[in-house]
Chain A
Amino acid sequence: GESVGLHLPTLSVQEGDNSIINCAYSNSASDYFIWYKQESGKGPQFIIDIRSNMDKRQGQRVTVLLNKTVKHLSLQIAATQPGDSAVYFCAECQGAQKLVFGQGTRLTINP
Chain B
Amino acid sequence: NAGVTQTPKFQVLKTGQSMTLQCAQDMNHEYMSWYRQDPGMGLRLIHYSVGAGITDQGEVPNGYNVSRSTTEDFPLRLLSAAPSQTSVYFCASSYSGYRSGNTIYFGEGSWLTVV
Contacts and interface: CB of A to CB of B under 8 A. Distances in A.
B41 A34 contact: no
Contacts of B31: 96-97
Interface residues of A, number: 25
Interface stretch (B12-20, B70-78, B98-106): B98-106
Contacts of B56: 97
A41 B106 CA distance: 13
Interface in A1-37: 2, 4, 9, 32, 34
Interface in B94-112: 96-102, 104, 106-109
A32 B99 CA distance: 7
Contacts of B53: none
Given A42-B108, A46-B102, A103 B44 contact: no
A43 B102 contact: no
A43 B107 contact: yes
A93 B99 contact: yes
A44 B42 CA distance: 10
Contact of A99 (B40, B45, B50, B109): B45
A102 B90 contact: no
A32 B35 CA distance: 19
Contacts of B115: none
Interface of A: 2, 4, 9, 32, 34, 41-46, 48-49, 89, 91, 93, 96-104
Given A93-B98, A96-B98, A101-B44, 8 more contacts: A4-B42, A9-B40, A43-B107, A46-B104, A96-B97, A99-B43, A103-B40, A103-B42
